[in-house]
Amino acid sequence: MSLQESLNKFKQQQEKCQSTLISIANRGSRSSQSHKPTPAGTSLAPSKAPVPVKFSNDTERLQHINAIRKSPVGAQIKRVIDLLLQTRQAFTPEQINEACYVDILGNKAVFDSLRNNHKVNYDGRYFSYKSKHDLKGKDQLLSLIRKFPEGLAIVDVKDAYTSVMEDLQALKAAGQVWLLANNDSQEDIVYPNDPKVTIKVDDDLKQLFRGIELPRDMVDIEKELQKNGMKPATNTAKRRAMAQVHGVPSNPKPKKKSGINKRTKLTNAHLPELFQNLIVPDS
């Protein structure tokens, strides 16, 4: 018998029991009235209708549980992972069933998918949340960031522990890290900042660097590279010729502003004007 059929049968039994009790209460009320003497001068007043007996109705809760267990496997997995992430505690399958109504032991597909999920750790008895980097506090977070001088994606550490974002802001305020965002993907990147590495650059060299203007067309940039004995990584002329063959207009794209990505190294920290257009996230 399915759960829905059990719910319907349970509801019918409730209605039948309630009707029976109301009938018994009515008979008892009439019997007591017939044996009780009526004082003189007192008119017989109609008795009040008995209050229906109320049962604890779990129908809605059972229907909710049934809907969860009939939902797609992915939805049930997300429900469990959200529970593990929010609580940061280890749960047995029975405890998960009590907490979020996902019956892991009764659904092999859910059990196998959860056990093999990269966000879940399973030791044979308990399920717990597993972040990409096992960090316990700000010191371990800073040590990890210093291992990635080219930048570490914040998305890779934001679920390491509950206060990790607050610790990132604290490290930023202390000048130990840089928090920057990629202009294209808007992905937040954290970079280590070593205050011991201080480079002083002469004003003449700064002026020379600022006075160099790169060609706006990529073809001209490739030609300049070839003149200096370097092989360009791209071949814009060939790509445009192929685009014309396939009927794609070959209008050169406007030059994009330089952005920050995972491979960007902050080697020009002595030229702060280079970073004026960068987006620094608040969180």
- Residue 264's contacts (CB-CB under 8 Å, 6 or more residues apart) are 150, 151, 189
Residue 268's alpha-carbon distances to 146, 214, 272, in angstroms, are 18, 17, 8
Shared fold status for 58-129 and 138-197: yes
| For the chain, domain boundaries | 58-129, 138-197, 203-241
Give 240: exposed, middle or buried? Use CB within 10 Å, 0-12, 13-18, 19+. middle
Dihedral (CA of 219, 224, 229, 230) sign = negative
Give average pLDDT by consecutive 10-residue segment, the chain, 283 residues.
68 68 57 46 48 58 88 94 93 94 93 93 93 91 92 90 92 90 70 76 88 85 88 84 69 56 56 57 52
Q: Which architecture characterizes domain 138-197 according to CATH?
A: Orthogonal Bundle (1.10)
Strand order in the sheet with 188-192: 152-153, 188-192, 177-181
How confident is the model at residue 215, as a pLDDT?
Answer: 83
- Residue 257's contacts (CB-CB under 8 Å, 6 or more residues apart) are 183, 277
Residue 161 · residue 137 · CB < 8 Å = yes
Question: What's the pTM?
Answer: 0.48
How confident is the model at residue 53, as a pLDDT?
Answer: 44
Reported residue count of the chain is 283
How confident is the model at residue 42, as a pLDDT?
Answer: 44
Give 114: exposed, middle or buried? Use CB within 10 Å, 0-12, 13-18, 19+. buried
Give the 3-state secondary structure of residue 172: helix
How confident is the model at residue 81, as a pLDDT?
Answer: 94
Residue 50's alpha-carbon distances to 21, 38, 54, 157, 182, in angstroms, are 10, 21, 12, 63, 71
Helix (H) or strand (E) holding 103: none
Locus of tokens 């802001």? 169
- Residue 237's contacts (CB-CB under 8 Å, 6 or more residues apart) are 219, 222
Strand ranges, E, within the chain: 120-122, 127-129, 152-153, 177-181, 188-192
How confident is the model at residue 225, as a pLDDT?
Answer: 87
Furthest C-alpha separation in the chain = 126
Locus of tokens 């994606």? 153
Among residues 188, 212, 209, 214, the alpha carbon closest in space to that of 270 is found at 209
How confident is the model at residue 32, as a pLDDT?
Answer: 47
Residues 99-144: tens digit of each pLDDT = 999 999 999 999 999 999 999 999 999 999 999 998 989 999 999 9
Q: Which architecture characterizes domain 58-129 according to CATH?
A: Orthogonal Bundle (1.10)
